[in-house]
Structure 1
């Protein structure tokens, strides 16, 4: 009997020790996984979008000692009380409330003419960018090319990343990656729990390598023939940037972009457990700093007279140059056109946008010298993705039309 008790006690102690060790090592991953699963819940979404950097490990993009701040107009504009969309008249405040607008910023001729925060956000709070971060990666890519770190976007991915041979990215031109035309198969339906994009989120939450996830994807179409939005394409661009610069994305962004445009606040990139930045959607900034990439591109890559991003790259980034990239193309799974990680909306003249899920937007209208940022926690996005984007675009255009 004593022997049995001793064996049971030893077994109990062993199980307890294993449980404690597992708790120490996996508590972080379990917390992240729970966070990812409940990230978009109606009662948590605004708080989650404000506090992501407290859940995931991050790399910091340090602000300069002397930031540049947009001046304020002596007279602020008033938002239109109503705006039109197709055959409907929409109440502006109802629209802003319905889409859970966390922040709205309007910059006209380099000057803040409107700024508003809601849902617990303030001017010093960071907000997750989601896919708006792709446009920042495009800017860094253009800088790297100007420095000769990348010879040409006509080169293939596997010339720089031989570890992707045999994957969906084998032999694909870098240009096709920039233009979301890789032919790689990917289900980006956020409403489908088992979609590739949601599977990728759980992958990241468990601390697994995003490089390995990219290597798991297979080819579905001939590259360069169909505009299929695949978020992991941007991760491949990040892999190339990290390889050719010998720096982390955060370090390169800090030196080549963030310090030079005088960011007001530090930026934070979510990273996986290998230290690789989640470049396809993991950038966290304050709203005014999101506006700075819009202002930089509005000014053809110049900031206060200094050319930061090559002018030719900016122009190419916002110009669809193939039939499948034109707005409304039948060879695209999105109605908008596409450049180098920037959107070109249908029905416009010179407008372009960075945009992310749950209604994040950086809207630029060069003719009006206008940059507009809308940050949101629109939990209804899954069911209203296209209609919500189109209504928001009508709202932006109404504001633009009212400016001199």
Structure 2
């Protein structure tokens, strides 16, 4: 019996040591997985959204060696009285307003500040769209009606076999993808775990096989479509998206701080929502689009792409928000009124006629509640009309 006890003790010690070794070996993956599981918790969400690079793999998007572009301050504007309760109700962490290219309001909340590099979530989709427009103009991508497999052959035989670049830009691929952030087993959350555990996003996309409609027939917002756009961009150029975005968009805009992308385990940028930068630098991008793709006299994004990508072109249902090429057009929009939008309250709202850009960052855990998007757009319109 004594020998049996010693034997069992040795086995137990070996198991403990093995568990410790595995824990040390997989420490980073375990830390990232724990971060995913607590990313949106009430007590951590605000801090997490300004510090995503501490919990996930990332790659810098160099700002270049040029000086910071001017983003001047105009006379400070008093906002309508209903703005303050809206800020509190929507857990807004940053609000910045440009009028005619000048900052007329800028404020930060919930312990955040102007130098925070904030997660874009799906605002990042609109940046990738801008990059597509540039590559089309350069001839690197021949046509948005090209099949995606022309540039990303690893997608052949899967759900994206018959989809064109136009259709994935429009979120009309017809691919089955569950984007319920509240369901731990949804596709979007499975994808998050792939990201956290150092997996390969390309393999995740290529493994999708189910469709619910023919490409181009039906609109359904599925973020994996944007990853496929990123695969096309990489396949057309042979270069990482972070490098391309730095060279063709970020450096020309003269950002204040170098942004970064979250990445998967092989360094592939999380293009559908992983861009992180300051609120002021999101505003630069919005102002550049408001100006038809120009910045300080230089054409950054082709003007015809700015117009085409922000016009309703997707087969959305009547009475809903419209969609262009990775840009949203709100209900009842005036000409030149559109926005980039991300979960939990991230927006770049553009009113071209009034020369207004409104940028918000937020940690709104009620962002999915009925009518919240409509309330936010109504607030943006109220602000724009008051200036």
SS of corresponding position for 1:367: coil
| 1:150 pairs with 2:135 | no
Checking the alignment, whether the CA contact within 8 Å between 2:350 and 2:356 is kept in structure 1 is: yes
CA deviations 1:257-283 (Å, max 9, x no partner) are 111111111101000111111110011
* Cα distance change of structure 1 residues 159 and 294 upon mapping to structure 2, 3 Å threshold: same
- Once the two structures are superposed, the pairs formed by residues 186-197 of structure 1 within 5 Å of their partners are 186-197=177-188
* Aligned counterpart for 1:338 among listed residues 323, 330, 336: 323
Residue 287 of structure 2: aligned partner = 295
Whole-angstrom distance in 2 between the partners of 1:120 and 1:240:
39
CA-CA distance at 1:208 after TM superposition: 1.6
| Aligned equivalents of 2:277, 2:19: Cα separation in 1 | 38
SS of alignment partner, residue 289 of structure 2: helix
Residue of structure 2 in register with 1:318 after alignment: 310
Question: TM-score, normalized by length of structure 2?
Answer: 0.95
- The answer as to 2:199 corresponding to 1:213 is no
Instruction: Please say if 1:32 is aligned against 2:32.
Output: yes
Alignment of 1:103-118 (within 5 A): 103-118=94-109
Q: Unaligned regions of 5+ residues in structure 1, if any?
A: 83-91
Please identify, of 233-242 and 12-21, the stretch whose mean Cα deviation from structure 2 is larger. Answer: 12-21
User: Is contact 1:69-1:264 (8 Å) kept?
Assistant: no
DSSP 3-state at the match of 1:378: coil
Whole-angstrom distance in 1 between the partners of 2:175 and 2:354: 37
Deviations 1:258-309 (A, max 9, x none): 1111111110100011111111001110001111111111111111111111
1:392 equivalent in structure 2: 376
Aligned: 1:72 with 2:73 = yes
Q: 1:81 to 1:148 in 2, by over 3 A?
A: same
SS at match of 1:352: strand
Contact 1:167 1:219 in 2 (8 A): no
In structure 1, how many angstroms separate the alpha carbons of the residues matched to 2:9 and 2:88?
59
> For residue 348 of structure 1, what is the aligned residue in structure 2?
333
Mapping of 1:105-254 within 5 angstroms? 105-217=96-208, 218-254=210-246
**Contact kept in structure 1, 2:176 and 2:211, CA below 8 Å:** yes
CA distance in 1, matches of 2:85, 2:40: 21
- The match for 1:89 is none
CA distance in structure 1 between the aligned counterparts of 2:41 and 2:12, rounded to whole angstroms: 39
Q: Please, which moves more after superposition, 49-58 or 22-31? A: 22-31
Judge conservation of contact 2:79–2:386 (CA < 8 Å) in 1.
no
Cα separation, 2, equivalents of 1:215 and 1:321: 26
Report the Cα offset of residue 9 of structure 1. Answer: 6.1
Equivalent residue, structure 2, for 1:58: 58
Shift of 1:246: 1.9
2:318 to 303, 309, 329: 329
TM-score calculated relative to the size of structure 1: 0.91
Question: Which aligned segments of 4 or more residues in structure 1 are displaced greater than 4 angstroms?
Answer: 1-10
Are the aligned partners of 1:123 and 1:287 in contact in 2 as well (CA < 8 Å)?
yes
Query: What is the rounded CA distance, in whole Å, between the counterparts of 2:32 and 2:385 in structure 1?
Result: 44
How many positions carry a matched residue from both structures?
384
Shift of 1:147: 1.5
Whole-Å separation in 1 of the counterparts to 2:41 and 2:6: 49
- Find the aligned partners of 2:77 and 2:17 in 1 and give their Cα distance: 63
Q: CA RMSD in A?
A: 1.7
Query: Larger deviation: 339-348 or 30-39?
Result: 30-39
